[in-house]
């Protein structure tokens, strides 16, 4: 898979999803976790990178459903908050514009 500017920007970053008792806090495992919702992705439709959060491997597993230690609604809320924190950091760094 081709790495985009935003997926590359996730490398070495602090996790922004921050799921309590799940987050491993290891920036070496951070990747861009895409927030998925109807109308933005699905069969044959790849999600855009903008609604993505910097997530450690443990939080990313919870976001994509491969780890179910936290309820789905709580994970979706924390993932959405992570997307907003990630976007705020990218705006502050001038990577994206508001």
Residues annotated as catalytic (active site), given as ranges: 34
Q: Which pair of structure tokens corresponds to residue 42? A: 């699905």
Q: Which residues lie closer than 8 Å to 8 by C-beta, 6 or more apart?
A: none
Q: Is 54 exposed, middle or buried (0-12, 13-18, 19+ CB in 10 A)?
A: buried
């Amino acid at each position: 898979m081709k790495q985009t500017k935003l997926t590359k920007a996730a490398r070495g970053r602090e996790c922004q999803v921050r799921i309590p008792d799940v987050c491993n806090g290891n920036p070496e495992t951070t990747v861009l976790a895409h927030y998925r919702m109807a109308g933005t992705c699905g069969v044959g439709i790849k999600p855009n990178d903008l609604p993505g959060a910097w997530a450690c491997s443990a939080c990313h597993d919870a976001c994509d459903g491969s780890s179910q230690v936290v309820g789905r609604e709580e994970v979706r809320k924390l993932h959405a908050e992570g997307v907003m924190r990630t976007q705020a950091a990218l705006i502050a760094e001038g990577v994206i514009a508001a």
